């Protein structure tokens, strides 16, 4: 297998501990599509949470991860948009700024590491669209989800800033829609698709965060979407964890399952809900899965 289909998987901090269903389903789907994942040795936090406290420490942490990847000769695949964005940004910054690169390498030298700028980082969505390709995904589909009409939520970090991330349009994103439609499902348009899920506001105001999530759920409900598809751990947590809470607080009724994109794709590839960790989702998916099963008969 060529290195074009082989990546170091960078799990980051949140995914393994808070959204294992994302990791489980992603690993299953990537294996089905011929993507080989290599466990990244001794990785640390991407650095993003520390940036407001110490920009230099953020650079060191990110550069350490990149230097470790460089030693393996493999590129990095992440599931978290925040991790992807941070590693991409630091990689670009250090490659372009020789003085800063030398300063950061002084710190890395203590651990026997050196940042050279020879690796790249891609989010799983970018790997699927650019490296696996839509044609291969469509050919791998054995259970087209033509019975489903779903909505997408791309989130804020995955495509911004475009100067660093380098693919798709943050104001009119099409990649996730294209990937959803490759499963056979219809991706519905709805009001304010690109608005934030509310998660960044949690530390400032729980009320504001929940209101933002509520607005999104209301708009998704308006188009009768059978599920909301996410590609970000924190966006998923914001909706899946809080949907029942929002229903209770605001006397709403949604019943909208929140699926990781790899879970949706996995169903189309013939994987079972058990293999895709549907049991870890908080919003009940039984109605959705019943429609999938009946539609496949």
Domain boundaries, the chain: 3-124, 134-295
Q: Which runs of E-coded beta strand occur in the chain? A: 6-10, 36-39, 75-78, 121-123, 149-153, 186-187, 228-230, 258-260
DSSP bridge pairs for 228: 151, 258
pLDDT band at 296 (very low <50, low <70, confident <90, very high): low
Domain 3-124 belongs to what topology? Glutathione S-transferase Yfyf (Class Pi); Chain A, domain 2 (1.20.1050)
Q: Is the dihedral of CA 13, 15, 18, 20 positive or negative?
A: negative
Q: How far apart are CA 104 and CA 224, in angstroms?
A: 51
Instruction: Find how far residue 201's CA is from the centre of its chain.
Output: 19
CATH architecture of 134-295: 3-Layer(aba) Sandwich (3.40)
Average pLDDT over residues 146-154: 97
The stretch 109-134 carries a mean pLDDT of: 96
Q: Contact 216/197 with Cβ under 8 angstroms?
A: yes
pLDDT of 297 higher than 90: no
- What are the phi and psi torsion angles at 113 (to 5°)? -115, 160
For residue 192, is it left (φ>0), alpha (ψ between -120 and 50) or beta? left
| pTM exceeding the 0.85 threshold for the entire prediction | yes
Q: Within 10 Å of residue 4's Cβ, how many Cβ atoms?
A: 10
Tell me what pLDDT residue 154 has. Answer: 92
């Amino acid at each position: 297998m060529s290195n074009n289909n082989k990546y170091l998987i960078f799990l980051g901090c949140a995914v393994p501990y808070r959204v294992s269903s994302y990791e489980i389903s992603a690993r299953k789907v990537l294996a089905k599509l011929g993507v080989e994942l290599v466990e990244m040795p001794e990785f640390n936090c991407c650095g993003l949470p520390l940036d407001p406290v110490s920009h230099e420490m953020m650079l060191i942490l990110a550069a350490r991860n990149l230097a470790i990847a460089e030693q393996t000769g493999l590129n990095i695949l992440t599931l978290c948009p925040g991790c992807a964005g941070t590693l991409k940004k630091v990689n670009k910054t250090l490659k372009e700024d020789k003085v800063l690169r030398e300063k950061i390498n002084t710190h890395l030298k203590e651990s026997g590491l050196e940042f050279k700028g020879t690796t790249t980082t891609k989010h799983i969505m970018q790997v699927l669209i650019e490296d696996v390709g839509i044609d291969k995904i469509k050919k791998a589909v054995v259970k087209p989800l033509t019975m489903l009409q779903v909505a997408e939520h791309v989130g804020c970090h995955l495509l911004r800033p475009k100067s660093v991330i380098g693919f798709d349009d943050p104001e009119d994103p099409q990649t996730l829609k294209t990937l959803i439609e490759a499963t056979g499902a219809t991706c519905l348009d709805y009001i304010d698709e690109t608005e934030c899920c509310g998660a960044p506001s949690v530390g400032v105001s729980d009320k504001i965060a929940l209101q933002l999530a509520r607005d999104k759920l209301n708009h998704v409900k308006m188009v009768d979407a059978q599920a909301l598809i996410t590609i970000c751990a924190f966006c998923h947590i914001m909706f899946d964890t809080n949907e029942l809470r929002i229903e209770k607080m605001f006397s709403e009724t949604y019943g909208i399952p929140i699926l990781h994109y790899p879970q949706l794709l996995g169903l189309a590839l013939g994987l079972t809900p058990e293999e895709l960790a549907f049991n870890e989702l908080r919003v009940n998916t039984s109605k959705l899965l019943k429609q999938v099963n009946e539609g496949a008969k």
